[in-house]
């Protein structure tokens, strides 16, 4: 990956002048003008408040913003921590359809940050989401203190979110990581995380940066690699997340996130088939109160989307899903909202069938995973109907129960996996 | 009489022997050229297959769903094997033609070279249809899934239209390549696609008027509707 890195003269000078820093905060950015200044102010305040003795650097790695992000950063005067802006080259075609996080070729931005962290011999490096208006000064200590003071190498975020926000993570990513890798990382795709200098060096030495498929979801790869390599990792309560980005394209996000996870699960088949388990990843800090959420989403359009999918995508689903799974899906087509239920075990089998279809290349993987969207909405509708009137604890329990079912039904997958 | 008969028989045998002596080297040359053609085509096929595997063609074909489409069409071999087999036949046909022309039988040579010329054209036409069929299936799937996820009621109709449109285009290209009724094919295609665009324009213009009004109304009254926005929860 060395070929794309051309350090700006300001950055070269900064590296030469400083020689080394204790802490590096990196922010990948692309068209983040409305939010980045607020995030930077919170970061600066957090660094001066929590680590006044440490030498720090804030590094913004920009993918060619055109919305005034650069001028907003150049006009920013009142930071006490040095701020350096450096571009990273992006293939123009990648800007046409942005990934769900809104940063084109984010892996290049992260590689640049880790590379600079290594050159500056940073003890710890935090990556922050430049679109997250929920970022507070307290987050800096929450992310970096476990590395500097407690010897952890990787800190994953735990956000306080309204009940049904982040459901894709709760219903697919989190349970699958628990089932296959034996670790309970709640929000591995949060966008805000931290790692030690030695783990950054380890990541930089891996082949993943040249593997387009793996690099596409580098954050997931980092979290899973940290688990697999045995570096001590923990989670930190951060607080509410307020990601201000372009509207989410659910089907695209599903195919990107689940596709990356399936890719990694497939690459690690030799490991999880032996059975991976380990101690829980401790959650440090105090949990923030659940933010007063907006009213629950309306499940009716989701049920309609699911039933429309069952009607129109049937020929594709019949290729991808097992006959037993299909047998259980057919009766859901005529159900009204009052009695609509998409059972948990059925959902687990749908995901495992999709993973098998991905493994056996039943059809083009993006089509396969985008066809999962109506099924996901069906399960989400059922979850809302089942838990809407329950307490927060009951809702959390249902996520825990789902993880247990993913683990319990894993033999269903392993028996069919060759 | 006896001498005459003897002369006739001897002449016939001598003539046959002379013709055979003149023909056998051509026959040997033909066998040699065809054998050489088979050998070179086989070597080229193996080399090509090796290179295709080395650059990960089968992995790429799996990832893009091409293997699945070929499997559904009954072609169960990996893409690298299919492509190298195709190369084998493409190289073998000219070597067969060269071999047969070594016989120096003018009528046969002409006929055979015309036959193989047509065969080569037919192979290319079949390839055009095959590629068109693969692309049609791929685009059909993409259109179906995209339309279902956009919650369009007539998603299967859109998918069928995309699939058949692509297939018709590929078939027309194959016919034009074969030189069959070229002008008629172009005229039919122009009428078909021109008519389709006009029909769609009319359908959206007249039928979509109400839809456009509702869409604009919804946009203008954003936040007022009870249902609006309630499903729009961040999933990640």
The encoded tokens of residue A121 equal 């011999």
Element (H, E) at A254: helix A250-267
**pLDDT band, residue A214 (cuts 50/70/90):** low
Are residues A47 and A82 in contact, defined by beta-carbon separation less than 8 angstroms?
no
The predicted pLDDT at position A176 comes to 93
B→A interface, C-beta within 8 Å = 62-69, 138, 141-142, 144-149, 151, 153, 155-156, 227, 230-236
Domain of B19, in residue numbers:
1-104
Element (H, E) at A126: strand A124-127
The predicted model gives A133-161 an average pLDDT of 92
Chain B residues in contact with A213 (beta carbon < 8 A): 63
Q: Nearest CA of chain A to the CA of B128: how many Å? A: 21
Q: Kindly report the backbone phi and psi dihedral angles of residue A29, in degrees, each rounded to the nearest multiple of 5, phi listed first.
A: -140, 150
Q: Nearest CA of chain A to the CA of B104: how many Å? A: 52
Report the distance separating Cα A201 and Cα A187, nearest Å.
23
pLDDT (tens digit per residue) in B82-109:
889 988 988 888 888 888 877 777 777 7
pLDDT (tens digit per residue) in A95-131:
777 888 888 888 889 999 999 999 999 999 999 999 8
The encoded tokens of residue A108 equal 């290049």
The predicted pLDDT at position B225 comes to 42
Higher pLDDT, B111 or A291: B111
The predicted pLDDT at position B210 comes to 63
CB contact under 8 A, A312 and B148: yes
pLDDT (tens digit per residue) in A384-397:
998 888 887 888 88
The predicted pLDDT at position A276 comes to 74
The encoded tokens of residue A252 equal 């695209």
The predicted pLDDT at position B216 comes to 61
DSSP three-state, residue A384: helix
The answer to whether residue A316 neighbours chain B at the CB level (below 8 Å) is: yes
Is the residue at B95 inside a domain?
yes
pLDDT (tens digit per residue) in A225-253:
988 888 999 999 998 888 777 677 889 88
pLDDT (tens digit per residue) in A36-71:
999 999 999 999 999 998 999 999 999 888 888 888
| Cα dihedral: B221, B226, B229, B231 (round 10) | -160
Q: Nearest CA of chain B to the CA of A7: how many Å? A: 32
Residue of A nearest to B155 (CA): A312
> Which candidate, A175, A202, A197, places its Cα nearest to that of A186?
A175
The predicted pLDDT at position B153 comes to 82
The answer to whether residue A246 neighbours chain B at the CB level (below 8 Å) is: no
| Domains of chain A: residue spans and CATH | 14-284 (3.90.550.10), 299-416 (no CATH)
Is the residue at B170 inside a domain?
no
Is the residue at B222 inside a domain?
no
HSE-up (13 A, CA, CB side) for residue A329: 27
The predicted pLDDT at position A41 comes to 92
Is the residue at B181 inside a domain?
no
**pLDDT band, residue B226 (cuts 50/70/90):** very low
The answer to whether residue A257 neighbours chain B at the CB level (below 8 Å) is: yes
Q: Does pLDDT of A378 surpass 80?
A: yes
CB contact under 8 A, B155 and A164: no
CB contact under 8 A, B235 and A167: yes
> Which candidate, A267, A182, A252, A255, places its Cα nearest to that of A221?
A267
pLDDT (tens digit per residue) in A75-87:
887 888 888 888 8
The total of structural domains in chain B comes to: 1
The answer to whether residue A375 neighbours chain B at the CB level (below 8 Å) is: no
The predicted pLDDT at position B227 comes to 44
Chain A residues in contact with B151 (beta carbon < 8 A): 301, 304-305, 308
The predicted model gives A372-377 an average pLDDT of 94
The predicted model gives A402-411 an average pLDDT of 92
Nearest Cβ partner of A298 from B64, B147, B230?
Answer: B230
Q: Nearest CA of chain A to the CA of B75: how many Å? A: 14
The predicted pLDDT at position A248 comes to 74
Chain A residues in contact with B69 (beta carbon < 8 A): 363
The predicted pLDDT at position B223 comes to 45
CB contact under 8 A, B231 and A365: no
DSSP one-letter string for chain B: -HHHHHHHHHHHHHHHHHHHHHHHHHHHHHHHHHHHHHHHHHHHHHHHHHHHHHTTHHHHHHHTTHHHHHHHTT--S-HHHHHHHHHHHHHHHHHHHHHHHTT--HHHHHHHHHHHHHHHHHHHHHHHHHHHHHHHHHHHHHHHHHHHHTT-TTHHHHHHHHHHHHHHHHHHHHHHHHTSSHHHHHHHHHHHHHHHHHHHHHIIIIITHHHHHHHHHHHHTTTTSSSTTTT-----
> Which candidate, A47, A56, A51, places its Cα nearest to that of A137?
A47
Chain A residues in contact with B142 (beta carbon < 8 A): 367
Q: Does pLDDT of B77 surpass 80?
A: yes
The predicted pLDDT at position B95 comes to 83
The predicted model gives B39-49 an average pLDDT of 93
CB contact under 8 A, A297 and B148: no
Q: What is the pTM of this model?
A: 0.81
Query: pLDDT exceeding 90 applies to what percent of chain A?
Result: 44
The predicted pLDDT at position B229 comes to 43
Q: Nearest CA of chain B to the CA of A317: how many Å? A: 11
Is the residue at B48 inside a domain?
yes
The predicted model gives A351-372 an average pLDDT of 91
CB contact under 8 A, B231 and A298: yes
Nearest Cβ partner of A250 from B67, B146, B235?
Answer: B235
Query: pLDDT exceeding 70 applies to what percent of chain A?
Result: 95
The predicted pLDDT at position A161 comes to 85
Nearest Cβ partner of B234 from A248, A361, A362?
Answer: A248
CB contact under 8 A, A313 and B148: yes
> Which candidate, A295, A124, A271, places its Cα nearest to that of A193?
A124
The answer to whether residue A132 neighbours chain B at the CB level (below 8 Å) is: no
Is the residue at B46 inside a domain?
yes
Query: pLDDT exceeding 70 applies to what percent of chain B?
Result: 86
DSSP three-state, residue A219: helix
pLDDT (tens digit per residue) in B142-186:
999 999 998 888 899 999 999 998 998 899 889 888 888 777 777
Can you list the positions of beta strands (E) in A51-92? 56-62, 83-87
pLDDT (tens digit per residue) in A273-284:
887 777 788 899
**Among the listed ranges A1-5, B21-25, B144-148, which one has the minimum average pLDDT value?**
A1-5
The predicted pLDDT at position B103 comes to 76
**Among the listed ranges A152-156, B78-82, B210-214, which one has the minimum average pLDDT value?**
B210-214
Looking at residue A402, the DSSP 8-state letter turns out to be: H
Is the residue at B193 inside a domain?
no
Q: Kindly report the backbone phi and psi dihedral angles of residue A6, in degrees, each rounded to the nearest multiple of 5, phi listed first.
A: -125, 105
């Amino acid at each position: 990956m060395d070929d794309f890195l051309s350090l700006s003269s300001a950055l070269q000078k900064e590296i030469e002048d400083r020689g080394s820093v204790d802490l590096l905060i990196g922010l990948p950015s692309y068209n983040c003008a409305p939010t980045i200044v607020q995030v930077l102010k919170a970061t600066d305040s957090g660094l001066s408040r929590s680590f006044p003795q440490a030498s720090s650097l804030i590094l913004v790695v920009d993918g060619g913003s055109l919305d005034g992000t650069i001028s907003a950063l150049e006009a920013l005067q009142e930071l006490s921590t040095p701020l350096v802006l450096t571009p990273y080259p992006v293939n123009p075609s990648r800007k046409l359809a942005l990934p769900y996080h809104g940063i084109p070729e984010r892996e290049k931005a992260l590689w640049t940050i880790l590379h600079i962290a290594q050159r500056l011999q940073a003890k710890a490096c935090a990556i922050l989401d430049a679109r997250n208006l929920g970022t507070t000064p307290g987050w800096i200590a929450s992310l970096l203190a476990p590395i500097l003071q407690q010897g952890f190498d990787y800190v994953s975020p735990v956000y306080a979110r309204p009940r049904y926000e982040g459901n894709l993570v709760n219903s697919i990513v989190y349970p699958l990581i628990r089932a296959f890798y034996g670790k309970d990382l709640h929000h591995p795709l949060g966008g805000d995380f931290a790692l030690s200098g030695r783990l950054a060096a380890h990541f930089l030495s891996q082949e993943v940066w040249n593997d387009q498929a793996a690099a596409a979801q580098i954050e997931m790869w980092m979290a899973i690699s940290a688990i697999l390599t045995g570096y001590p990792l923990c989670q930190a309560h951060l607080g509410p997340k307020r990601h201000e980005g372009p509207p989410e394209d659910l089907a695209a996000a599903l195919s990107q996130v689940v596709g990356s996870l399936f890719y990694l699960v497939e690459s690690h088949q030799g490991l999880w088939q032996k059975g991976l388990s380990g101690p829980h990843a401790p959650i440090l800090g105090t949990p923030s109160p659940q933010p007063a959420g907006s009213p629950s989403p309306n499940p009716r359009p989701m049920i309609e989307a699911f039933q429309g999918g069952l009607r129109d995508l049937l020929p594709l689903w019949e290729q991808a899903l097992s006959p037993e799974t299909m047998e259980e899906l057919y009766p859901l087509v005529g159900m009204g909202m009052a009695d609509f239920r998409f059972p948990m075990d059925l959902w687990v089998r749908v995901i495992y069938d999709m993973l098998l279809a991905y493994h056996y290349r039943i059809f083009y993987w993006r089509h396969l995973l985008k066809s999962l969207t109506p099924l996901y909405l069906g399960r989400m509708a059922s979850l809302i109907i089942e838990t809407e009137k329950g307490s927060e604890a009951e809702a959390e329990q249902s996520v825990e129960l789902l993880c247990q079912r993913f683990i319990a039904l894993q033999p269903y997958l392993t028996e069919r996996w060759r | 009489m006896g001498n005459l008969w003897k002369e006739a028989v001897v002449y016939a045998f001598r003539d046959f022997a002379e013709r055979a002596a003149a023909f056998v080297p051509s026959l040997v040359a033909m066998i040699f050229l065809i054998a050489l053609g088979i050998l070179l085509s086989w070597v080229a096929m193996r080399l090509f297959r090796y290179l295709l595997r080395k650059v990960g063609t089968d992995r790429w074909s799996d990832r893009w769903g091409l293997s699945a489409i070929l499997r559904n069409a009954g072609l169960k071999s990996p893409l690298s094997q299919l492509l190298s087999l195709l190369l084998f036949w493409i190289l073998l046909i000219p070597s067969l033609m060269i071999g047969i022309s070594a016989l120096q039988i003018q009528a046969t040579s002409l006929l055979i070279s015309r036959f193989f010329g047509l065969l080569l054209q037919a192979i290319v036409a079949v390839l055009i249809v095959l590629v068109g069929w693969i692309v049609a299936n791929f685009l059909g799937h993409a259109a179906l899934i995209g339309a279902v996820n956009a919650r369009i009621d007539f998603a299967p109709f859109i998918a069928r239209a995309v699939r058949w449109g692509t297939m018709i285009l590929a078939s027309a290209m194959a016919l034009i390549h074969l030189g069959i009724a070229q002008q008629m094919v172009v005229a039919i295609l122009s009428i078909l696609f021109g008519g389709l665009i006009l029909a769609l324009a009319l359908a959206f213009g007249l039928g979509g008027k109400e839809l456009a009004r509702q869409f604009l109304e919804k946009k203008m009254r954003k936040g007022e509707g009870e249902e609006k926005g309630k499903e729009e929860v961040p999933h990640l």
